[in-house]
Structure 1
Amino acid sequence: MAATDPRTADPILPRAEHVAIIMDGNGRWAMRRGWPRLVGHRKGAERVKEIVRAAPGLGIRYLTIYAFSTENWKRSTEEVLGLMSIFARYIEREADRLSAEGVRMRFIGDRSRLDAKLQRLMLGIEARTAHHSRLHLTVAINYGGRDELVRAAARMCRDVAEGRLDPAKADEAALVARLDTADLPDPDLVIRTSGETRTSNFLAWQAAYAEFEFTPTLWPDFTPAELKSILDGYAGRERRFGGVGKA
Structure 2
Amino acid sequence: MTDDTHLSIPGRLAALSLALVALVLLAGTLPALAAGQSEPTIALQTDPVAAGDTTAVPVVLTSAPDGLAGYQIELSLDDSAVARFENASYPDSFGLTTDPVVSSDGGAITLEAADLDGQIEPGASDVTLATVELAGVAAGETQVTVASSQVDADGGGAVEPATEPMTLSVTGDATAKTDATEAPSPADESTAASANTASAASDGDDGSGTAAGAQSTTAAEGPLPIALVLVALAAAAALAASTARRP
Higher helix share: 1
**Which protein, 1 or 2, shows the higher relative CO under an 8 Å CA cutoff with sep ≥ 6?**
1
TM score, norm. by length of structure 2: 0.29
Higher strand share: 2
Rg comparison, structure with higher value: 2
